[in-house]
Structure 1
Amino acid sequence: MAAKKVNIGIIGAGWIAKRAHLPLLLEMDDVAICGIYDTDGDRAIELAELFRTKAVSSIGDMLELTPDAVIICTPNATHTPLCVQFLKHNISVLCEKPLATSVQDAQQICRAAAASNGVLLTGFVNRYRGDVQRMKSCLLEGVTGAVQTIEAGWTRRMGVPRPGSWFTQKELSGGGVLHDLGSHMIDMMLYLLDAKSASLQVTERLCSLYRRNFDYSTYNNWLGTHESGGIEVEDSARGMVVFSSGATGLIHVSWSEDVEGDLVELKIRGAKGTLQLQTLFGFSNLGIMKEPRLTFMPLGGEQIELELPAPEHTELSEYRSQMNHFIRCVRGEETPLADEMDGALTVNLVDELYKSAARDHVAV
């Protein structure tokens, strides 16, 4: 007998719902899209017509559809009340990162998840990439030995997400590139090093934030064009943390860096040598790497090129893996790879880095 279809509601009819989540849901035989809600009713209707479902006019109307799960694709500041409301109704949640914009809000979501029969999956989609999984397996095999430093960088040449949109308005976003790209890279750091280990407690942190003037009137990239709001947040951040193990973590994220092209780099130096991944996350069409590259340089030896899984050559492959995993979690067949605690750990570290920048009077 075929399994009952999982009914999924979409909260937020923006770019990521249209570009990633809805196309994947539409191709899945064991899933039904029960409805789409957005505070902009016309946008919800437009997307519902495109993906052959219905638009609803309120969260209450969505609840009346009794979804098994929802995907929250709304501005960062709205994540907490939405997550809590659906979890209280025992509805599973896939929440786009960051899970919340404050430590207190993240803790509230964790409490709601603990009391719910639903599951919460934080949308750290890059955990599902084949290159990241291969790097993780190398660490588990002890290739590097005891980790001494980890560097996590994601730089874009021209990658501000729709200047003037909610992404660049602090009240809605909670912050700039440190919340956006930084959440992904901090999660990578914590995931690769086993964030829930006692040795990953942060003992020191330091951060600087920057924003440079730019004429956004004709700005246009793969994420969209300039919108009417202001630019209130940082476009670049550099940070350092020291873990209780003695390892040091370095982070560099930028929407607007003076580089040849967009790039993600993860570099782990250990007692036995250095493991490095060069790749690109997301949807950028300005990437400097044609294919991901994973290398290991043993202590005192020559650099070795490590084999990576054959790429699927689709920008949605990691989203597809995440979605399949989420559906299995909703069915009770798997436990979340990135649960509410993972989301909260990243929120906590992002918050500490912002506080460091404010304490040291680093102005944007």
Structure 2
Amino acid sequence: MDKVKVGVIGTGIGSFHIRAYQKLPDVEVVAVVDLDPKRAKQIAQQYNIPRYFIDYSRLLKLDIDAVSVCTPNFLHSEMTLAALKAGKHVLCEKPMAINAQDAEEMVKVARETGKKLMIAFCNRFRNHPQLLKRYIEDGELGEIYYAKTRWLRRKGIPGMGGWFTTKAMSGGGPLIDLGVHVLDLMLWLMGNPRAVSVTGVTYNKFGSRIPLKEGTFDVEDLACAFIRLEMGTSLFLEVSWASHIKEDAGIHLSLFGTKGGAELWPLRIYTEKHGCFVDVEPRLEEVSGYEAEIAHFVDCIVEDKEPMATPEQGLEVTRILDAIYSSAETGREVVL
């Protein structure tokens, strides 16, 4: 086919999408959308994009193949549905939606239209998780029965008073912002098991103490959850935007298997051979998750393949996030 023509809606994280698309010789970014006309024009000029709009519906009228939806969370569902119904393939930034009801409608319309809907879980595409996935699929860790993951910040509340800290627009705090990444990554590594029950707790101990000149802070700044998965497997999750720790902890995952265990980042494998403990630390050059996921999305369009990050998987993550928030609010376990 000719070059894949794409449009990008949103120019924050969307700038990463633009740069990744423009590194592919078979892709042309033909338009960009931002509510701020000055920002839209500036990005279009910076990246030599021929057209820019402040109304995404005008983009969808163009003869393009696909769009990246890179807007605030509460707009993901609306814009994705409109793009799918307009006959475009969609790469939707995480989180898929701010609730499972919206995510279910996105799955339904994607399947009805026959268009690709991929959720931008970029960490799946980095070298270390990709290699760990191969270790797991080759059976080298045996049966994985327990896992834990975290992404903790000492100080890192984004956009105080803006959409990030306004629940109606974001859907939540670090749980839906950071937790969505590590939860998806862990479920994917474990073979995408379904959750059967969730117990969660959320805290707002720092954000509410920071004086705001304007805007809202009505989300959590730390969340943790215990998630029971099918086949008896379990997962512990903790995330924060602010907490009294030594330093930002970044993404960390631990998997416990009957033949071996593993940690990320960096990737380390712990096992036993010939009566001795063996630690393996593969040497890998890190690659951009954004560039790899964009290349995969385009390849799925060209080759008519199912994306690695399916909308059904995004829906399952969203259901779990909903359940964590519900459990935190009620103080009870939520059975799924």
**Is the counterpart of residue 182 in structure 1 residue 179 in structure 2?**
yes
Calculate percent identity across the aligned residue pairs: 30
**Residue in structure 2 matched with residue 286 of structure 1 by the alignment:** none
Offset of residue 301 of structure 1: 4.5
The counterpart of 1:263, out of the listed 250, 270, 275, is: 250
Offset of residue 144 of structure 1: 2.1
How far, CA to CA, are the matches of 1:339 and 1:356 in structure 2?
A: 26
Give, as a single letter, the amino acid of the residue that structure 2 aligns with 1:40.
D
Deviations along 1:231-270, one digit per CA (max 9) or x if unpaired, are 2111111100112211110001111232323322111112
Contact 2:199 2:332 survives alignment (8 Å): no
Question: Relative to structure 1, is the Cα distance of residues 301 and 248 closer, same or farther in structure 2, using a 3 angstrom cutoff?
Answer: farther
Gaps of 5+ in 1: 218-225, 280-291
**Aligned length, in residue pairs:** 329
Q: How does 1:113-128 map to 2 (within 5 A)?
A: 113-128=110-125
Give, as a single letter, the amino acid of the residue that structure 2 aligns with 1:208.
V
SS, match of residue 302 in structure 1: strand
**Is the counterpart of residue 96 in structure 1 residue 93 in structure 2?**
yes
How far, CA to CA, are the matches of 1:188 and 1:120 in structure 2?
A: 18
- Compute the RMSD of aligned alpha carbons: 2.1
Offset of residue 82 of structure 1: 0.8
How far, CA to CA, are the matches of 2:89 and 2:189 in structure 1?
A: 26
**Residue in structure 1 matched with residue 11 of structure 2 by the alignment:** 13
**Residue in structure 2 matched with residue 275 of structure 1 by the alignment:** 262
Contact 1:9 1:67 survives alignment (8 Å): yes
How far, CA to CA, are the matches of 1:323 and 1:165 in structure 2?
A: 28
Contact 2:153 2:247 survives alignment (8 Å): no
Give, as a single letter, the amino acid of the residue that structure 2 aligns with 1:256.
A
**Residue in structure 2 matched with residue 204 of structure 1 by the alignment:** 197
**Residue in structure 2 matched with residue 254 of structure 1 by the alignment:** 240
Q: How does 1:312-327 map to 2 (within 5 A)?
A: 312=287, 317-327=288-298
The counterpart of 2:27, out of the listed 19, 24, 31, is: 31
Q: How does 1:1-364 map to 2 (within 5 A)?
A: 3-14=1-12, 16-18=13-15, 20-53=16-49, 54-195=51-192, 200-213=193-206, 228-257=214-243, 258-277=245-264, 279=265, 292-298=266-272, 301-312=276-287, 317-360=288-331
TM-score (norm: length of structure 2): 0.92
Offset of residue 92 of structure 1: 0.3
Contact 2:206 2:242 survives alignment (8 Å): no
Gaps of 5+ in 2: none
TM-score (norm: length of structure 1): 0.85
Contact 1:91 1:117 survives alignment (8 Å): no
Deviations along 1:143-202, one digit per CA (max 9) or x if unpaired, are 22212211111112222222222111111101111101111111012101111xxxx332
Offset of residue 333 of structure 1: 4.4
How far, CA to CA, are the matches of 1:252 and 1:165 in structure 2?
A: 24
How far, CA to CA, are the matches of 2:279 and 2:85 in structure 1?
A: 51
Contact 2:152 2:250 survives alignment (8 Å): yes
Contact 1:160 1:255 survives alignment (8 Å): yes
Contact 1:87 1:112 survives alignment (8 Å): yes
Deviation >6 Å, runs of 4+ = none
How far, CA to CA, are the matches of 2:162 and 2:187 in structure 1?
A: 29
SS, match of residue 38 in structure 2: helix
Question: Relative to structure 1, is the Cα distance of residues 339 and 190 closer, same or farther in structure 2, using a 3 angstrom cutoff?
Answer: same
Question: Relative to structure 1, is the Cα distance of residues 115 and 332 closer, same or farther in structure 2, using a 3 angstrom cutoff?
Answer: farther
Question: Relative to structure 1, is the Cα distance of residues 333 and 361 closer, same or farther in structure 2, using a 3 angstrom cutoff?
Answer: closer
